[in-house]
Structure 1
Amino acid sequence: MKKILTALFITIITITVSAQSKLEQDRQAIKALPGFYKVTFNYAETFAPDTAYKFHPRYNSWGYEWAVIEEDSPKKIVIQHLLVVGDSMIIKHWREDWLYEEPTMLAFDKGNTWNKVTLKPADVKGRWVQRVYQVDDSPRYESIGTWVHVDGRHQWQSETDSPLPRREFTKRSDYNVLRRGNRIYLTPEGWMFEQDNKKIIRSESGDKLLAQEKGYEEFTKTDEAKFAYAKKWWSDQKRYWADVREVWDGVFAGTNKLTLNQKVDGKLLFEKLFELGDQSVKEKWNSAKNREEAGKVIKAHLAS
């Protein structure tokens, strides 16, 4: 009996250590994503069920982007991306939150509507939810997947619905949902965001496939010196945006369905929040003032 109990104890310890090791491997892979990068964007439509469909031109672009960790706790890592344009223009870009074994997600429907869904414990065990936010910290899409570490390769993948990508949002209206097949993997030079996407027409009668596309966003490490102005700009702005995130957290916690109005008084949500950020820095607002002013703007854009 003693030998059996000892063997059982050793087995439990081994399993625990193994689980901790896997979790730490996951965390280290996620923490490898921040850095100073040149990013190339390449997308091409590859297939359409309708033979009369005319493929749209390929999309190719590039830019400089700094991704910085804003929060690092055992089961949550927040990474903010900042786009650098020239020597003195910074755009607060997308944000990604990584949450371990997170039981709830916001699922994109269509239009500007997201629905909160609750996942089963078996479906979240050992897995990470990646929450991706717009430039104004409103929701974009969320998905869940498992980090895999094998043969020196570190990879995470998932599939989820999202709004149209920014590169097509103002140019196309022939589809209304992008079903993203996301694959993130580390490379010797940085990391790759590979996509196998489906452009979906969603209506009351169901989903119809318009076209498929392949996408590659390659993040290649570059000279940190290019980002000196970005560091200064973000050091001034980061407290304001932390307060904006806190306002959004309250919104997400208090609703099971979120619908946003695109424009209020002729302005988009990001335009108003960006203006407030500059005003906050100029007038040296405290966090209470930041939350109050940002809260008014966000509330105005929530559809009743």
Structure 2
Amino acid sequence: MRTITTFCLLLSISFLTAQSKKKQDKNAIKKMCGCYEVTFNFAETFNYSKDENYKPSKNKVSKGLEWAGLVEDSKNKISIQHILQVGNPAKPMIVKHWRQDWIYQNTDFYMYDGDNNWTFTKKDKKDVKKQWTQKVYQVDDSPRYEGSGSWVHVDGKSYWENTTTAPLPRREYTKRSDYNITLRGNRQEITDFGWVHDQDNSKIIREAGKDDIILAKEKGYNVYKKVADSKCKAAQDWWIAKNDKWQKVRDKWEEVYSRSQDLTLVAKVDNKPLYKHLFTDKKMEEEEMSEIIESFVKK
């Protein structure tokens, strides 16, 4: 009898510890919400090209205000939408930016494989136990990259790490065509001033039937410094006004992802990328919006 009682007690302690850890994880993730002065820093560090005329990418530094708003906060999912606020503070320009969804013990993945193709992969539950998947989406809510890992809370630090494949960032694909995959080493760390997105990336050449070739390495260091939420009021107001529209877009994409099959997207329809179809003030019915997104899904 004593053995059974001890076992039950240990089980209860284990459950409470897991719940406490999960709560810590969720609190860390939600600390990425708010208004931030952001500095984006990228520098190519090493190159392995055999071409003597190879030119590395120029260092890239840019700044702006970014509002990170909580879209969903449920038992096993947290969704955060990022909105850029740039230009004249009195009359700023608002740009819908990336979105990050965090899902607890997620098993369904869309892994980027180059050429606008994402391979659907299902992992075993034991491989993602107590882990969080970060799913990152483009400005039009189409897929970008995702990966799973454990949040770590130790020595006063809270951070999450993962390495995964991704499309080229805008700063690169508009200028480079000599590689087709970014292998992203991501580290999100919560700090006393906000948070940091620390990246160690590889520029990969991937061809069918061949081993990947590393063309170059890149360091990214994006600093999010917390400021008063009032500084991002224009972005907040814009998102409140536009959220219904983008909820419909998210719902359509969820329907696409729920098919649980490989996904290939076409780059342009009617000579325009998807975001240009969706970034319009013209009122669109849900059916029209769905048809536009579906037109980019390669059959």
TMscore range, shorter length: over 0.9
- Within a 5 Å distance, the mapping from 1:50-129 to structure 2 comes to 50=49, 52=52, 53-86=54-87, 87-129=91-133
Name the Cα RMSD after superposition.
1.2
When the two structures are superposed, what TM-score results if normalisation uses the length of structure 2?
A: 0.95
- Within a 5 Å distance, the mapping from 1:1-304 to structure 2 comes to 2-50=1-49, 52=52, 53-86=54-87, 87-204=91-208, 205-275=210-280, 278-280=281-283, 289=285, 291-304=286-299
Provide the identity percentage.
Answer: 45
CA drift of 1:255 comes to 4.5
Instruction: Tell me, in whole angstroms, the C-alpha distance in 2 between the residues paired with 1:80 and 1:293.
Output: 23
Instruction: Tell me, in whole angstroms, the C-alpha distance in 1 between the residues paired with 2:22 and 2:6.
Output: 24
Structure 1 unaligned blocks of 5 or more: none
Which shows bigger deviation, 222-231 or 106-115? 222-231
When the two structures are superposed, what TM-score results if normalisation uses the length of structure 1?
A: 0.93
CA drift of 1:266 comes to 1.3
Instruction: Tell me, in whole angstroms, the C-alpha distance in 1 between the residues paired with 2:297 and 2:4.
Output: 58
CA drift of 1:227 comes to 1.8
Letter in 2 for 1:101: Q
Runs of 4+ aligned residues of structure 1 deviating over 4 Å after TM superposition are none
Letter in 2 for 1:273: L
Instruction: Tell me, in whole angstroms, the C-alpha distance in 2 between the residues paired with 1:9 and 1:299.
Output: 52
- Look up the SS of the partner of 2:31 in the other structure: coil
More helix by share: 1
Instruction: Tell me, in whole angstroms, the C-alpha distance in 2 between the residues paired with 1:216 and 1:178.
Output: 16
1:32-67 CA distance string (max 9 Å, x none): 111100110111111122364433221111111000
Which shows bigger deviation, 11-20 or 48-57? 48-57
CA drift of 1:88 comes to 3.2
